[in-house]
Copies of this chain bind each other. A is one copy, B any other.
Amino acid sequence: MKRTAFYLSDGTGITAETLGHSMLSQFGSIEFIQVTLPFVQSDEQTREAVARINKAAKEDGAKPVVFSTLVNTDHRAILHGCDALILDLFGAFLRPLEDELGVRSSHKINQSHAIRDAESYRIRINAVHFALDNDDGARTRHYDQADIILIGVSRSGKTPTCLYLALQFGLFTANYPLTEDDFDDLRLPKALMEHKHKLFGLTIDADRLSAIRSERKAGSKYASPRQCDMELRALEAMYNKHNIPYLDATELSIEEISTRVLAMKGLKRRLQ
């Protein structure tokens, strides 16, 4: 049976989507068609959303599931008239929170992912540009400003992790690719040696690495299982020799790698 899941929001829809993905991941056997309806900010737009939801209910022959982060009381009342299972975040949690805190909430729409202040924006933009400028060992002279320096072999997930840490947490991240040349005597490159306490290593399963590299250069030595295996063995020997904390990224998403690195290094985020 076809089911539609709606993510309904007066803002970006990111909270509703995150919430919904999290809940739906518990129902692996059901396939959902997912529709995000962001920036629903008026009675009129809420009624349009309700019409779309009711249409899906009719077409599917089954109630859609609606994850809603609408804040406005009138809009929520309109929404609750539709033919769907409504999981209403503010409906469920706002009242107990108000009671505990002893204040009424602002009921202002589109607060969640609105720009908080110029300072946070600045930190974030600077972090992103720092990550770009210090990607892939391009520059090493600003490592004194880095919060963390990720190391690992080519295509093991360093770059996306650095960008995620920059965008999400405002951290100043650098990354440096270790290559065959570095493995000869297991000596750390000088630029890294000077900032050893900032280093964090990634490793990955050799077959997985080979598959990822093959996409880029199929049939090359670079992508061969043998080469990948050799590099990864040397890499882990290097981590162990220098007591560098590291993580196997094979089965992990970018979010998981990032949050684990944060926890393992005890890093304090610059953005909440």
Q: Which residues of B contact A258 (CB under 8 A)?
A: 12
| Min distance, Cβ A5 to any Cβ of chain B, angstroms | 10
Q: Which residues of B contact A114 (CB under 8 A)?
A: 25, 251, 253, 256
Total number of A residues with any Cβ neighbor in B under 8 Å: 77
Contact A19 to B15, CB < 8 A, known contacts A97-B65, A113-B256:
yes
Contact residues, A222-266 vs B (CB, 8 A) = 251-256, 258-260, 263
Cα separation A128 to B159 with both chains bound (whole Å): 8
Are the CB atoms of B18 and A272 closer together than 8 Å?
no
Q: Is A85 an interface residue (CB 8 A)?
A: yes
Are the CB atoms of B107 and A26 closer together than 8 Å?
yes
Q: Which residues of B contact A34 (CB under 8 A)?
A: 272
Q: Is A22 an interface residue (CB 8 A)?
A: yes
Are the CB atoms of B108 and A26 closer together than 8 Å?
yes
Q: Which residues of B contact A103 (CB under 8 A)?
A: 27, 29-30
Q: Is A77 an interface residue (CB 8 A)?
A: no
Are the CB atoms of B253 and A105 closer together than 8 Å?
no
Cα separation A90 to B87 with both chains bound (whole Å): 11
0/1 per residue, A84-113, Cβ < 8 Å to B? 010101101110110011010111100111
Are the CB atoms of B254 and A167 closer together than 8 Å?
yes
Are the CB atoms of A112 and B22 closer together than 8 Å?
yes
Give the 5 A-B CB pairs with smallest separation, nearest first: A26-B105, A25-B111, A22-B112, A113-B255, A12-B259
Q: Is A129 an interface residue (CB 8 A)?
A: yes
Q: Is A14 an interface residue (CB 8 A)?
A: yes
